[in-house]
Structure 1
């Protein structure tokens, strides 16, 4: 029998804690990320934050992957492996993290640009890329709150990104449903498609994650078998939240405020699942 993509109210409540554990891990990385630290050190901090809430890394459950986060730097878009790489001024760094707690999953990502006083133009350009990507995420979440069908999310994300400049939107990597498994149906597109997608109704939980590049959207996978990078060497940004739809509204599971700050501009007040 095909598993339903819709969760019960009780299951939505069980997804609150893994979402917060994921948010904690990203907060820990955000506080520590600076020139001179290694991506492996950031990985350790993220794992400690998840464990402090009683959770575990769900990334480590992926076959062949041994780390808590993915750390992608500069032309790396997603799935960068933490290691001895030392962060430098001006780097644009995307961190993807996830937690599992009591069998339920959270998944989120953010992008940061490290200060570089000698290259302010580079920093400004990369921060603009990150800001456009983050705002496109909130545009998608806002669209989800009022959508009849899921693929309206991709319409909103693409329209916003294209309105902000000549950016590339990745099409080979998209968002997904989330619940008992980190990656579940349905697919969540970051661009317009012809199909309407599943109905948006209470119980739908999805990870929305736009990935945007400053140049061409053509990519390749590095020799490590994981890291996805731009073919033209252009910078990349990645933002993600896990979001639940329920009978009283929506709630961003991987934001401590449920998405209140990001959704305020749309006049949307998120409601915690009861």
Structure 2
């Protein structure tokens, strides 16, 4: 069943989504070579709880952490642990927060230090693909229009692999609600988008092929060819004429820029 949200409910989701955005901005300030992914996760959990919310992901179907932290060839659902981040790593951080009975959900991919040029392009193209999808999240369009926009920008135009098995989703009182929002599809296919629908659009794009497999931990999804993958996610409400973002990357981008200036000596 698809649940359409009232303006009051959208307001609660916005609060949770913006807290997730703020958490990711704090993570952006904290991330550096030499720290473990478990340290990053503890930092994010403390921030969320200090702001009166609880982590959406922790203990969700048994997931053991606050964030999914996926490094290099890990696409999504990486479990934080004793891996020490190093220069050149690609790090996707996916995070959720529950506050006032409603969830927020967002993800962002970071580069640690000097990242390879082809990986920087992957990051930029994946983020652009997210906004290509968001542009189609308007009342009267269909789910397939979102997926087609993401797929056309990444796979058809640029030759990346678009993960099929992991998709976006509805969001509200539950972390995962209907409908599913694939990152591939055909224009004009799928359910019709109606105002008040809140969804998470989250392209997961591989530098190589789209093929993936699960590690033995039962959670971590990795690229079969071992090439890196990028992941960005916004919480979005369907509106007439233009979608509304409930999450926000601006503070994350500002933190990244500050880190770059610091590292360059300016």
TM-score by length of 2: 0.89
- Kindly indicate whether residue 178 of structure 2 is the aligned counterpart of residue 180 of structure 1: no
- Matches of 2:212 and 2:71, distance apart in 1: 14
Offset at residue 162 of structure 1 (A): 3.0
Task: Tell me, yes or no, if the aligned pair for 2:53 and 2:98 is still in contact at 8 Å.
Answer: yes
Instruction: Mark the runs of 5 or more structure 2 residues left unpaired by the alignment.
Output: 252-266
- 1:129 equivalent in alignment to 2:122: yes
Of residues 211, 218, 222, the one that matches 2:211 is 218
Are the aligned partners of 2:55 and 2:97 in contact in 1 as well (CA < 8 Å)? yes
Question: C-alpha distance in 2, partners of 1:221/1:172?
Answer: 11
- Secondary structure (helix, strand or coil) at the match of 1:180 reads coil
Q: Is the 8 A contact 1:114 1:123 kept in 2?
A: no
State the Cα distance separating 1:256 from its structure 2 match. Answer: 6.3
Of stretches 166-175 and 10-19 in structure 1, the one that deviates more from structure 2 is 10-19
| Equivalent residue, structure 2, for 1:266 | none
Separation in 2, partners of 1:99, 1:154: 25
| TM-score computed with the length of structure 1 as normaliser | 0.86
**Does structure 1 retain, via aligned residues, the 8 Å contact 2:167–2:182?**
yes
Partner of 2:11: 13
Mean Cα displacement is larger for which, 35-44 or 142-151? 142-151
| C-alpha separation in 2, matches of 1:257 and 1:71 | 21
* 1: CA distance, partners of 2:236 / 2:20: 13
Shift of 1:141: 0.4
Alpha carbons of 1:97 and 1:223: their partners in 2 closer, same or farther (altered >3 Å)?
same
> Would the alpha carbon gap of residues 109 and 71 (structure 1) be closer, same or farther in structure 2, given more than 3 Å must change?
same
CA RMSD of aligned residues (A): 2.1
Number of positions where the alignment pairs a residue of Structure 1 with one of Structure 2: 252
Secondary structure of the residue that 2:125 maps to in structure 1? helix
Q: In structure 1, the residue corresponding to 2:70 is in which secondary structure?
A: strand
Q: Is the 8 A contact 1:168 1:212 kept in 2?
A: yes
CA shift in 2, pair 1:125/1:257, >3 Å = closer
Q: What residue ranges of structure 1 are gaps of 5+ in the alignment?
A: 117-121, 259-274
